[in-house]
Structure 1
Amino acid sequence: MIPEEFREFFVAAAGTTGALVGLLFVAVSVFPDAGREDTTRAQFHTRSSAALLVFTNALIISMAALVPDVRLGWWAIVAGAGVLVFAAATARSIVSEARALRDGPGRQLGLIGLPGLLVIGGFEVYAGIRLLAAAPELDLGAIKTLMYVLIGELMYGIARAWQLLGVRDSGLFSTLRLLAGRDPARGGE
Structure 2
Amino acid sequence: MNAQIAEYHDFFLAGAGVAGALIGLLFVALSVSQERIKSRDGVLHRVRAAAALTAFTNIVVICLLGLIPGQDLGAVSAAVGSAGIFFLVGAGLSLRRARWSWALVRDLGFLLALAAVFTLQIVTGYHLDNGSHRAENLQRTGTLVVICGLLGIARVWELMGAPP
Question: Quick one: structure 1 residues 107 and 161, their matched pair in 2 at CA, closer, same or farther if it must change by over 3 Å?
Answer: closer
Structure 2 unpaired stretches of 5+: none
Task: Point out the structure with max Rg over C-alpha.
Answer: 1
TM-score (norm 1): 0.79
2:155 aligned to which of 153, 156, 160: 160
The Cα shift of 1:91 comes to 1.8
User: What is the aligned-residue identity percentage?
Assistant: 28
Matched-pair contact (CA < 8 Å) for 1:91–1:109: no
- Per-residue Cα deviation, 1:80-139 (whole angstroms, up to 9, x for no partner): 011112112222332x325xx5x47x75142251122112111110111001111xx871
- 1:69-84 equivalent positions in 2, closer than 5 A: 69-84=70-85
Could you tell me which residue of structure 2 aligns to residue 111 of structure 1?
107
Matched-pair contact (CA < 8 Å) for 1:83–1:120: no
Answer 1 or 2: higher relative contact order, Cα 8 Å, separation at least 6: 2
Could you tell me which residue of structure 2 aligns to residue 45 of structure 1?
46
- 1:1-20 equivalent positions in 2, closer than 5 A: 1-2=1-2, 3=4, 4-20=6-22
Give, in whole Å, the separation in 1 of the partners of 2:105 and 2:90.
Answer: 12
What is the count of residue pairs matched by the alignment? 161
Could you tell me which residue of structure 2 aligns to residue 176 of structure 1?
none
More helix by share: 2
Give, in whole Å, the separation in 1 of the partners of 2:93 and 2:24.
Answer: 29
TM-score (norm 2): 0.90
